[in-house]
Amino acid sequence: MIDEGETADTRPTKIVYVAEATAHGGREGWVTSQDGQLGLRLATPPVFGGDGDGTNPEQLFAAGYSACFHNALVLVGRRAGLDLDGSTVAAKVGIGPNDARGYGLAVALSVSLPLVDQDLAARLVSAAHRICPYSNATRDNIDVSIVLS
């Protein structure tokens, strides 16, 4: 069964895992994880005057959000007794100036569920959006659009 209920308090009641990463040198430096699994050169995108010869925080956020949302989608499908083989989630993370004289983000998720009809796919996506930690963290903070492709 797909949960159609309201979103409750989304703060964790118990922390079961903590990821740690450290940035060195901002957008023109590198980022590492404390367990050594991540070590990436960072570079400012050309649109902001950089050489783009490395990853950037927006790409890392897009990778994390798409992976987390896809996992939530598969979990919702499994709970409903569905096999979501061949499904994918792509994320685009945009950055630009905001009215507070800083910068803000916007996210566009594109979900592909090739073996599921559109009505059921929409319900699965809605349920995944309610349980995904990234969706819960961004809800009412940044624009997040979700399109079924």
Domain ranges of the chain: 1-55, 56-148
The model's pTM is 0.92
Task: Give the per-residue pLDDT at 2.
Answer: 59
Asked if residue 31 lies in contact with residue 38, where contact means CB atoms within 8 angstroms, the answer is yes
Name the class of domain 1-55: mainly beta
Coil/strand/helix, residue 88: strand
CA angle 110, 115, 116 (to 5 degrees): 75
Contacts of 113-116 with C-beta under 8 Å, sequence gap 24+, read 113/73, 113/84, 113/87, 113/148, 114/86, 114/87, 115/83, 115/84, 115/85, 115/86, 115/87, 116/82, 116/84, 116/87
Q: Give the pLDDT of residue 47.
A: 93
What is the third-level CATH fold of 56-148? GMP Synthetase; Chain A, domain 3 (3.30.300)
pLDDT in tens, the chain (149 residues): 555 556 578 889 999 999 999 999 999 999 999 999 999 999 999 999 999 999 999 999 999 999 999 999 999 999 999 999 999 999 999 999 999 999 999 999 999 999 999 999 999 999 999 999 999 999 999 999 999 99
DSSP-assigned beta bridge partners for residue 144: 107
Other Cβ atoms within 10 Å of 4 Cβ, number: 9
pLDDT confidence of residue 3: 58
Would you tell me how many other CB atoms lie within 10 Å of the CB of residue 74? Answer: 18
Q: CA-CA distance, 140 to 130, in Å (whole number)?
A: 13
Q: Which of 96, 123, 126, 97 is nearest to 109 (CA)?
A: 126
